[in-house]
Amino acid sequence: MSKILFLKLLFIFLIITLASGRIVDDISFHNPQNLAGQMVKTRNSISVEKVGVNKPTPEEEKDPEFWRSVAREQVLRNLEKQKLNVNKAKNIIMFLGDGMSLSTVAAARMLKGQRKNHTGEEDSLSFEKFPHAAFSKTYCANAQVADSACTATAYLCGVKGNIVTIGVSANVEYNNCSASMDPANQVSSIAAWAQKAGKSTGFITTTTLTHASPSGTYAHVANRLYESDADVMSFGQDPATCMDMAHQLVTQEPGRNFNIMMGGGMAKFLPKNIKDFHGNNGIREDGRNLLSTWQAMHPGGVFVSNREELLNVNTSNVSHIMGIFNTKAMDYYAVSDKSQQPSLAEMTETALNLLQRNEKGYFIFIEGGHIDTAHHENKAGISLDETLEFDKAIQLARDMTDPEETLIVVTADHGHGLTINGYPGRGTSILGLNQHDLGADGLKYSTLSYALGPQQFIDEHGQRVDLDGIPRDIDSIYPSYVKSNDGHHSGEDVGVFASGPFDHLFTGVLEQNAIPHLMAYAACIGDGLTMCDDNVEE
């Protein structure tokens, strides 16, 4: 067989193989009739129909000058970024949207606009208007997809550790308590660096004071669930040699010095024979009442347990505020008793009013923790609502502070497996079904869905349930692809948004552990490089 004949036969064989293997060309994915919504709606065409028909375009957007005007405004805004803010940062506010993937940001933006009766896609969250942004790589030392513990060590302590551990180096493995108690393996947080510089410090969370994310400011543990002595014992460890997180927060540096601590989780601080302010017993086995301990340590401080008490605090007359607003985590804001539970913005406002009294400045960590919690439950509506509450707190903080002296950084610890599906038309309800497309089974599908979760909406015959017949409210569970007890984290990069002194340093693709070092550089705190060192050299 000649070489030419062999090549011809090989070419024919490859064509047949590709065809039988259903390798498709671009038109199969991006059929122009399909994208324009002109495909005929028949059972045979459903599998390739991705868009649907009757998609309205806002009238003003039909004029090319509309988009040229939008672009001109963007050019002018970007030109303003050439005027770098190289002031020393007196204050640092770090906002953490737990589990706030970029898909969460986009969906929340749409919901924000739709709640104002707009189409939604064109809206923006407050921090999306910050002058500088970057991506953060979220893996931890021994895990491709991270949890909120090892990421907290990265973005608060500047070192990547192992999954489930907090405030310790990668020398410490899961549940190795003796290694976590070894000072050689412990890493300090930016909160500790700020205290050393004479600044006021604290944190706010919608979860618990001993949750993984805020614990990165103060804890050193081999297991993020060592929240109380009872928890430590449940993992076969001795609390006498393995100090729990609530105990560390109240009695150890830097937690004992925090001017602000707000969130949920009162049970972790009280013995099991004492009821908390919310009518439930504590869980501690050692008999310690850590709330009494804290109050005795801070006679000028005030403890609050509900919204009214918080809003009545005279921040000009108190030195510290500890607010614990639930036995466990705080409730989702959308379904909470708003007469009892403060919003994240209200907690932020009270905290900043106290912290701004320090002439040397402050550092505070503020977490929208239930963005993540709701994603785990596949409750997309709740997660997006929590994101919008988070957004309100950020806008308030920027309004209350001066960008010339206060650096605000907004980021997430990791993503979640939330996707925005299909080709829905402009203004399609982000919380509803895609009205412009059908699945191969002829049924509509949810615009939002998850990779993993508890509910696939499949009947006993393995067929998809018609979602049109299922009512939805704010805490409905959304469909997922793979059945799991809950939704899991995702491993893609997350956003970092910055406004204030040296915000231009937050650009490009960052290792997550660089974030506290960049903040410290701007504020001249910590033992690393700072802008003050540069000035001395000049």
Among all residues, which ones are annotated catalytic?
Answer: 148
Task: Give every CB contact of residue 319 below 8 A, 6+ residues apart in sequence.
Answer: 259, 298, 300, 301
Q: How far is CA 209 from the centre of its chain?
A: 16
Residue 486 annotated as lining a ligand binding site: no
What is the 3-state secondary structure of 293-348? HHHHHCCCCEEECCHHHHHCCCCCCCCCEEEECCCCCCCCHHHCCCCCCCCHHHHH
Residue 399 annotated as lining a ligand binding site: no
What is the rounded distance in angstroms from the CA atom of residue 221 to the CA atom of residue 155? 16
Residue 213 annotated as lining a ligand binding site: yes
Concatenated DSSP letters of 137-201: E--BTTBSS--HHHHHHHHHHSS---TT-BSB-TTPPTT-HHHHTSGGGB---HHHHHHHTT-EE
Residue 308 annotated as lining a ligand binding site: no
Residue 489 annotated as lining a ligand binding site: yes
Buried b / exposed e along 214-248 (16+ C-beta atoms within 10 A): bbbbbbbbbbbbbbbbbbbbeeebebeebbbbbbb
C-beta of residue 132 within 8 angstroms of C-beta of residue 77:
no
Identity of the residue numbered 439: G
- CA-based angle 532:534:538, to the nearest 5? 115
> How many C-beta atoms lie closer than 10 Å to residue 281's C-beta?
14
Residue 503 annotated as lining a ligand binding site: no
What is the rounded distance in angstroms from the CA atom of residue 37 to the CA atom of residue 82? 43
What is the rounded distance in angstroms from the CA atom of residue 172 to the CA atom of residue 167? 10
Q: Dihedral through CA 316, CA 322, CA 325, CA 331, nearest 10?
A: 100
Classify residue 529 by its DSSP letter. Answer: -
Task: Give every CB contact of residue 102 below 8 A, 6+ residues apart in sequence.
Answer: 415, 492, 493, 494, 495
Residue 372 annotated as lining a ligand binding site: yes
Instruction: Tell me how far CA of residue 58 lies from CA of 38, 42, 401, in angstroms.
Output: 19, 28, 37
Identity of the residue numbered 241: T
Residue 339 annotated as lining a ligand binding site: no
Binding residues for Zn(2+): 98, 372, 376, 413-414, 489
Binding residues for Mg(2+): 98, 211, 213, 367
